[in-house]
Amino acid sequence: MVRFGGAEVKIYERSDGLFKVYWREARKAVTTTKMRLEGERGALAFARKKVRELAGMAGTRSVSVLEAEAVDGLRGLAGERSMTAVVDQLKDLVARMGGFGHVVRACENYIKAGHGKLDRTSVAVAVARFLAGHEKSAVLYRGGMRKELEAGVGRFGTVSVCDVDADMLEAFVSRLNEDGTEPGARYFNNRLATWKTFLNRCRQWGMLLREEAHAGEVIKRRKEADRVPEIWGIDQGARILKTVAAEENESLNYLVTGCWMGLRPFEMKRVTASMWDWEQGYLNVGAEVAMKTMQQRFVPIPPNVRELLYERMTAPVRYWGANSPQGRRIAKHIVRADDQAFVAKLLRAKGLITEWPQDVMRHSYISYRLAQGHGRGQVAEWAGNSESEIRKSYRRPLRKEDGDRWFEIRL
């Protein structure tokens, strides 16, 4: 929204990537389309010029005190919306209902039907309530959700939750990133998903009608390009294992558990030596460890993992030495908080990697398990993923021999 001197011009991003500029002139809607947002010929530059033209055309007009008070009252009712949009909506309602009297009767029937009992809680109050409860159930994701929702409070925190419409929300989730760039499809969809989760909870609290779609359900997700997660090659994995074992041996537990057991980084930090059932050949990942899904799962221990970690886990004091701090620590936690930083720094120094892709060890595990011929459902169970996510994200050309070789890597 671009405002100047009482005039307003709106900019919308179309689904095809072009930008629509919208304004009202002589009481009629006018639009034009621009190829880009920024630049001399972009939508933003055009909107800034047009809004000044409209402000100049508007001129001034003397009104009575009563008229001024009426305008102020309308402005208060409009809230975050423009008064022009509110007036247009009122005109449309009156026309559709066949007169203002019918609009009043429709409102009365609306209240009698129980719709008028909606909780008029503001967005600011609802967000505070939501975050207070959500932090307890999803600690890992409170940071991103808090940042997005609190930014929304800054934009329309005084607006009632039931008054947040699709236009308001779509304009907000389409806002520029902090560095001034346009949000990509994935970033847009993540923002939208946060608001959808929040509004779903507000519906449960009685702040939205159960039988109507809220703004988060009306806005369409943007199409994302299929992305195949990056993984380590077999020879690269073997060299990495050898290097870590020789020069950062305390981080070997972290590397092996990530690459050949497929645990998430935060799961590894909660795993203890007692969770490894070496007799049955499974790692018991309990609900308190798998906080993302809160579901217990059993991950089979491959032969190479048994050779690499069995003695370190079952007899840490003997392996590390009677007075070693490592032996006492491993009895509680098998990995250290800084293991990833240590390993990444070492591998960069040795020229084995240039960067550390997110969850690269876990992605390698899943990809090579699938290559071995295990079904998506089975791999999803071992990894603690949904089968749909496995199907969507792990399509890559790997041979069965590749999968077998990955799980045969040893020192």
pTM of the predicted model, to two decimals? 0.55
Give every CB contact of residue 13 below 8 A, 6+ residues apart in sequence.
19, 20, 37, 174, 182
Only one residue has tokens 């409102």, namely 107
- Contact of 145 with 131, CB cutoff 8 Å: yes
Q: Which residue has the higher pLDDT, 361 or 25?
A: 361
Mean per-residue pLDDT, 85-93: 84
Residues ≥6 apart with Cβ < 8 Å to 169: 195, 215, 216, 219
Question: pLDDT by residue (tens digit) across 362-398?
Answer: 999 999 999 999 999 999 999 998 888 888 777 778 9
Distance CA 178, CA 197 (A): 23
pLDDT for 140 equals 47
Look at the block and give the residue holding tokens 């066949």. 98
Averaged pLDDT score across all residues of the chain: 86
d(CA 206, CA 215): 15
pLDDT attached to residue 235? 96
Better-predicted residue by pLDDT, 71 or 38: 38
Neighbours of 243 (CB within 10 A): 17
Question: What radius of gyration, in Å, describes the C-alpha atoms of the chain?
Answer: 29
Edge-first strand listing for the sheet containing 282-285:
276-277, 282-285, 297-300
pLDDT of residue 292: 57
pLDDT value, residue 115: 59
- Of 125-139, 170-184, 206-220, 300-314, the least confident: 125-139
At a CB cut-off of 8 Å and minimum separation 6, what does 187 contact? 177
Residue 359 pLDDT greater than 60, yes or no: yes
- State the average pLDDT over residues 336-364: 92
The pLDDT value recorded for residue 118 is: 67
What letter would DSSP give residue 232?
-
Q: Find all residues with CB under 8 Å of 250, minimum gap 6, and list them.
A: 326, 336, 339, 342
Whether the CB-CB separation of 362 and 258 falls below 8 Å is answered with yes
Query: Angle 258-260-261 (CA atoms, 0-180°, nearest 5)?
Result: 70
H-type alpha helices, 79-184: 83-97, 100-112, 123-137, 142-156, 166-173
Tell me the residue ranges of DSSP E strands in 2-127: 2-4, 7-13, 19-25, 28-34
- List, for residues 229-245, the tens digit of each pLDDT value: 899 999 999 999 999 99
Name the burial class of residue 142, with classes exposed (0-12), middle (13-18) and buried (19+) by CB atoms within 10 angstroms of its CB.
middle
Nearest to 394 by CA among 355, 374, 358, 368: 368
Question: Which residue is it, tokens 């929300």?
Answer: 169
